[in-house]
């Protein structure tokens, strides 16, 4: 396996804080690496150095052993608000397209259009300023993937994406032959894309081949071995201490070397790794909940002529844990704002129905845009609870750090604590996993599993939902909300089976039904004419053939092996087949009802 990249002795510090010191590692061709570390320990800095956006403090070497192309996805995408989607991508792609001839540039634009369509951004003329955060992320990903670079460096690629976009990206990267280094908090995404986990821990790099579960097992073995070594050093330290106290020789210059060794041993003996566990018995469990939480009756909400909630009725129960899923713009955050009464009073939209909140209700609401701090305060001044800070990975030496000196992920973690410290009995979390690292997510999950209150979570993190929620509200668009009892993975399996069943039904012809399931006569319908019967019988075969052709075209276009002319023809035909398939399926359903 060819080596792509060798890194030797690179370091990065910010003031007195050392992120990493003289680290070395290598990347082989075909490696797909997930980089894991707590927020604020240098993951983004390392990726920026590798991408040529920053420099190592200690010099060192970053040696690419092949003439390869690199593409870097940063967390924040800089764009022109007035540019349309397609122009923005093409404008940011000059480094890939400048050396291409006219045919190559046309092939690149075709690839961009195909990716934008796959990310449900088919309106190429839409202005960037009109896009949601998740849609902006999809534009940035389109620019990255369209480059077809050899080495992809990606900083939190799934942040702000809805689950459909995450699953498309997951499939694309798992099929791709690219070499990949990424930071991600999405554990399912990590497992399905990556074959190596690289951990940054106390300024050093540790590499584990295999999936996330294997990483957890091997990491624990490493920590156990380290702590066992620490125990041995403590035994040696006790003997040395006895020697210093008991021996007159300890006060002579000849023993200076031994006293220096003693000080080194003492420093090493204090280094013990502990796995953080959160205990609600220590942290408080929130105010007592009454029998009434939030009761909703026939609640509808319209804003700007669009329906975000249509006659929603539900009584939230004590201690239930509900997840909320749906595409970007489906109304999930609007729903939370309605529940908590946080709609804009100057532009509230049109709300009907009843939202009745319990008298003992104390809501803790973690909002995507809710983070407000006095940047000059210290961590301890912001959250005056050393136990809680320690449980959520704010070490003792960070307590006097000013908020302005924290990383983006550390600020998110601190914001979360400002809410948890109030001990709410209803906790509402709107995309809590964005910008949080995997280590913090594990701590948060343990906290929430023991939480003795009601919990409402909006999240695109499938692992997070699977661990925590009992049922889902699925926002389907146009105000429609469906309740699914079960975990998120069970819901996705159900939906895939349902969609497969619908396709299967669309390919088969159904026998006419003269009675309803209860045995009562079915309502009279206009019978099919002779020609309509023949059309209905033929449609099943036509739909099956079109579906097979669509699947084949999609596989060809994603293979990366088609020459430009063939790719252009395949893309055009794909659009024609998709439109024709929709038309045939609608016609089949219409005739099926009458049959």
Which tens digits make up the pLDDT trace of 8-54?
999 998 877 888 989 999 999 999 999 998 888 889 999 999 999 99
Full-model pTM: 0.74
Give pLDDT tens digits for 519-569: 444 455 567 787 777 787 788 788 888 888 887 887 777 666 777 677 777
pLDDT tens for residues 425-461? 999 999 999 888 898 899 999 999 999 899 999 999 9
Identify the band that residue 346 occupies on the pLDDT scale cut at 50, 70 and 90.
confident
CA distance 523 to 513: 11
**Rounded (10°) angle between helices 133-146 and 102-118:** 140
Taking residues 189-199, what's their average pLDDT?
Answer: 94
User: What are the tokens at 527?
Assistant: 């019978």
Burial 423-452 (b: 16+ CB within 10 A, else e): bbbbbbbbbbbbbbbbbbbbbbebbbeebe
Euclidean distance between CA atoms 8 and 23, whole angstroms: 6
Residue 344 has pLDDT above 80, yes or no: no
The pLDDT of residue 520 is 46
Q: How confident is the model at residue 522, as a pLDDT?
A: 45
CA 364 vs CA 251, 318, 354, 421, 449: distances in Å: 61, 15, 21, 9, 16
Task: Output the pLDDT for position 456.
Answer: 97
pLDDT, greater one: 289 or 48: 48
Q: What backbone torsions phi and psi does residue 314 show, to the nearest 5 degrees?
A: -170, 140
Tell me, what's the pLDDT at 525?
53
pLDDT tens for residues 203-215? 889 999 999 999 9
Angular region, 458: left φ>0, alpha ψ -120 to 50, beta rest: beta
Summarised one tens digit per residue, pLDDT across range 474-527 is 998 899 999 999 999 999 888 888 877 777 776 665 545 544 444 444 455 567
Q: Among 125-134, 167-176, 467-476, 571-580, whose mean pLDDT is lowest?
A: 571-580
pLDDT digits (tens, 9 = 90+) for 64-96: 877 888 999 998 899 999 999 999 999 999 988
Residue 483: predicted pLDDT: 94
Tokens representing 30?
A: 């075909």
The structure tokens listed for 143 are 């620019």
| pLDDT value of residue 257 | 53
**pLDDT grade, residue 381 (50/70/90)?**
very high
CA distance linking residue 524 with residue 534, whole number of Å: 21
Whose CA is closest to 406, among 77, 48, 15?
15
Pairwise pLDDT comparison (522 vs 317), residue with the higher score: 317
The continuous run of DSSP H or E covering 306 comes out as: strand 306-315
Cβ distance 33 to 196 under 8 Å?
yes
Q: Which residues pair with 528 in a beta bridge?
A: none
What percentage of the chain reaches a pLDDT higher than 90? Answer: 46
Q: Give 506's strand partners.
A: none
pLDDT at 241 > cutoff 70: no
With 0-12 / 13-18 / 19 or more C-beta atoms within 10 angstroms meaning exposed / middle / buried, residue 523 is exposed
Output the pLDDT for position 517.
43
Mean pLDDT taken over the chain: 84
Distance CA(118)–CA(459), nearest Å, equals 22
């Amino acid at each position: 396996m060819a080596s792509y990249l060798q890194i030797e002795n690179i370091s990065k510090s910010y003031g007195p804080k050392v992120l990493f010191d003289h680290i070395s590692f290598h990347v082989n061709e075909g490696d797909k690496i997930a980089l894991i570390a707590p927020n604020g320990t240098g993951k983004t800095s390392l990726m920026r150095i590798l991408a040529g956006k920053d420099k190592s403090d200690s010099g060192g070497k970053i040696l690419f052993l092949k003439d390869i192309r690199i593409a870097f996805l940063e967390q924040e995408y800089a764009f022109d608000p007035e540019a349309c989607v397609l122009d923005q991508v093409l404008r940011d792609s000059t480094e890939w397209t400048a050396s291409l001839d006219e045919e190559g540039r046309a092939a690149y634009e075709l690839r961009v259009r195909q990716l934008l369509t796959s990310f449900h951004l088919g309106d190429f003329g839409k202005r960037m300023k009109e896009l949601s955060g998740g849609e902006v992320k999809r534009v940035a990903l389109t620019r990255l993937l369209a480059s077809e670079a050899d080495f992809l460096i990606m900083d939190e690629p799934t942040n702000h994406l809805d689950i459909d976009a995450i699953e498309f990206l997951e499939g694309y990267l798992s099929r791709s032959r690219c070499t990949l280094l990424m930071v991600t908090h999405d554990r399912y995404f990590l497992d399905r894309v990556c074959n190596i986990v690289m951990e940054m821990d106390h300024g050093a790099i540790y590499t584990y081949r295999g999936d996330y579960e294997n990483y957890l097992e091997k990491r624990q073995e490493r920590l156990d071995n380290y702590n066992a070594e620490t125990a041995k050093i403590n035994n040696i330290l006790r003997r040395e201490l006895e020697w210093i106290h008991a021996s007159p020789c300890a006060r002579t210059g000849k023993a200076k070397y031994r006293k220096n060794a003693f000080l080194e041993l003492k420093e090493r003996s204090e280094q013990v790794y502990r796995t953080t566990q959160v205990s609600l018995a220590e942290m408080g469990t929130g105010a007592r909940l009454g029998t009434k939480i939030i009761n909703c009756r026939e609640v509808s909400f319209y804003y700007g002529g669009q329906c975000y909630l249509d006659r929603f009725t539900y009584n939230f129960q004590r201690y239930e844990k509900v997840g909320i899923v749906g595409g970007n713009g489906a109304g999930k955050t609007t729903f939370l704002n309605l529940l908590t009464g946080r709609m804009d009073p100057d532009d509230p939209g049109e709300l009907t129905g009843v939202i009745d909140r319990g008298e003992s209700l104390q809501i803790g609401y973690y909002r995507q845009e809710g983070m407000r701090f006095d940047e000059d305060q210290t961590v301890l001044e912001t959250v005056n609870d050393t136990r809680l800070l320690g449980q959520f990975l704010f070490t003792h030496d960070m307590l006097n750090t000013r908020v302005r000196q924290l990383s983006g992920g550390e600020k998110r973690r601190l914001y979360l604590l400002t809410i948890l410290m109030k001990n709410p009995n209803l906790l509402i979390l709107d995309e809590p996993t964005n910008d949080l690292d995997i280590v913090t997510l594990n701590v948060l999950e343990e906290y929430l599993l023991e939480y003795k209150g009601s919990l409402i979570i909006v999240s695109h993190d499938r692992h997070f939902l699977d661990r925590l929620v009992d049922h889902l509200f699925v926002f389907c668009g146009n105000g429609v909300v469906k309740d699914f009892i079960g975990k998120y993975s069970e819901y996705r399996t159900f939906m895939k089976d349902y969609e497969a069943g619908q396709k299967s039904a669309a390919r088969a012809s159904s026998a006419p039904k003269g009675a309803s399931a209860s045995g009562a006569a079915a309502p009279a319908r206009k019978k099919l004419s002779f020609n309509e019967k023949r059309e209905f019988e033929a449609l099943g075969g036509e739909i099956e053939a079109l579906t097979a052709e669509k699947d084949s075209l999609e596989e060809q276009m994603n293979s990366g092996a088609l020459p430009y002319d063939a790719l252009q023809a395949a893309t055009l035909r794909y659009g024609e087949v998709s439109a024709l398939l929709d038309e045939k399926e609608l016609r089949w359903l219409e005739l099926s009802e009458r049959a």
